[in-house]
Structure 1
Amino acid sequence: MKKLIILIFAVVLIYSCEEIISVPDISEDFIVLIAPADDTVLEDTNVTFSWEEIEFADQYQIQVAQPNFANANQVVLDTILGDSVQSFRSFSTVLPPNMYQWRVRGLNDNFQTDYTTQSFKVDTLQSDIDISDQVVTTIAPVNNAEITAGTISFNWEALTNATMYQLQIAYPDFQAPIQIVRDTLITTPLYTTTLESNDYQWRVKAINMSSETAYTTQSLSVIDDMMDLSDQTVEIIAPEDGFETSETMVNLSWQGIEEATLYRIIITDLSDNSVFLEQTVTTTDITIEFVSGMYSWAVRAENDTQNTPYTEQTITIL
């Protein structure tokens, strides 16, 4: 009886070993990726990944990282696909515009291949988006600004789906131009040039492959000499330095400076030196709602190219 048990155990063991040995080793096989091809640019967010089948692989693991696996901000996909009778494997998903790497490896019960990796980019066509109803918002120079002759920076807010901008500068204006002094296409929302003293208008529009916005137009005057604000000081009128009050609504006021186009106010909470408020105004006063505490407040005058030093005082809200 004992010999029979040993014989049965040996048969089972041999059969089990044969089963293990019969699982083919695929570790030296190589996954051939079909699509997306390496370094391709896709214009659609619907992405289908496909690769060639390798013999004796029962499953495939696919991973997608953004922007790549070496410096992954995010692994956006990690899944294992089961058996299929197809001669290749595929998987579809939706990915937003960005840089990506994807990789696949084959698996069976005992072995796995190395990953095969490729890169691609999703970049939806901007030219298909109509921007004709959008407006370019200018930042500087502000409308009717007076600027000292010399280097002047024109800038505006970038417009989504624009691929370039056309900027023009006319003397004295576009209604009756004596000269178009600048007419240029640029890809960034910033243009720097030099202008002589004169009255001008400048305008900018956004463009892509299929549409463009209307021009946004502003006026400016370039003068030979502007008073140097850095040599001037804003004189605070009220409240007096070290003022204490139980009122939470406090009006801060100061003397205006002729060449200033705005005033910048910074209020600091002295308990932790954090900024309680930073704001710009075109008037010479501002009403602030405080909470109890001790504050410093500072004001300076600014124009497009210069500013005064800050004038600073303290105030306590009881």
Structure 2
Amino acid sequence: MKKIVSIGVIFGSLFLLIACDDVLEENITDDLVTTVAPKDKSNLDGNSVQFRWDELADADDYRIQVVEEATQRSVLDSLVKGNNFTYGLNPGEYSWRIRGENFAYTTAYSFPISFTLSVSDDLTNQTVFLTSPSENFYTNKDALILTWDRIQSATSYTVVVDKTIQGNTATEIQTPDLTNNNFTLSSTVMSEDAIYTWKVKAVNDNSETKFSTRKIFLDTQAPNQPTLASPNNDAKGSSPITFTWNIPSDTGEIQSTLSSVIEVATDSGFATIIETVPTSSNSQEITFSNLGDYYWRVRILDQAGNKSIYSEVRKITVE
């Protein structure tokens, strides 16, 4: 009977918690998001569109959808914040709609609004959309391929790469007249750990875009070795057991957030690993199905993919 009562209390509490969340969120079901731009049947020039709308008081996010009219193919379905969103599109005819959302409710979608995007020879207000690597990209590889979307009215592209070390920035390369939409950064350029800022602009005979910019963080230095905290070596305990360790500070020119991986094996040589748990914490609770002796160790990883050497190995007996 006690077990039944406990389960009933748990489910009742869970129901009340969910119900409270619904009560705290305003019901926006009958509201509509007012669109601002593009307006219906607008004719736009360029390679991108800025969608704008009036914010709804009780909406946390907005889901914006864009459809290609000729094929009815969805080209955008994204959840965004704020009251505007810019997206790159090829020339063509499109329609867009938007709705507001919060934790518990959504509005209806706005009525679809059609617009036409045409090619413009004037690059001044167009944007080069960089595709890879992503913004603030951490890597331990000293060679990368930079890519970006083509602009139809561009005849060439200019790539500039700056290197920043200890706050000092210098331009490493400036390459104009590229006709491809990619560029290889070799180890000659990425010669040491640093922040590499890459920039691309599009050019034609009469105009050019502004530079589009992203950062690459080259980090080839492995994190320091972690030290184990508890349980002590040859400790005994019952399952589940909480393991803790000390994460050292990151070192080197480029530093990033560190994570850990704890491994548990049935042998000291780790030939038979039964648990491999990545975690952003410095502790991990592990449940053991069987009693006996186990061995554990930890290593540290950084955002660039570098790995520390393993910690010491400790033995734990599960009783």
TM exceeding 0.5: no
TM-score normalised by length of structure 2: 0.35
Question: Normalized against structure 1, the TM-score is what?
Answer: 0.35
Greater Rg over alpha carbons, structure: 1
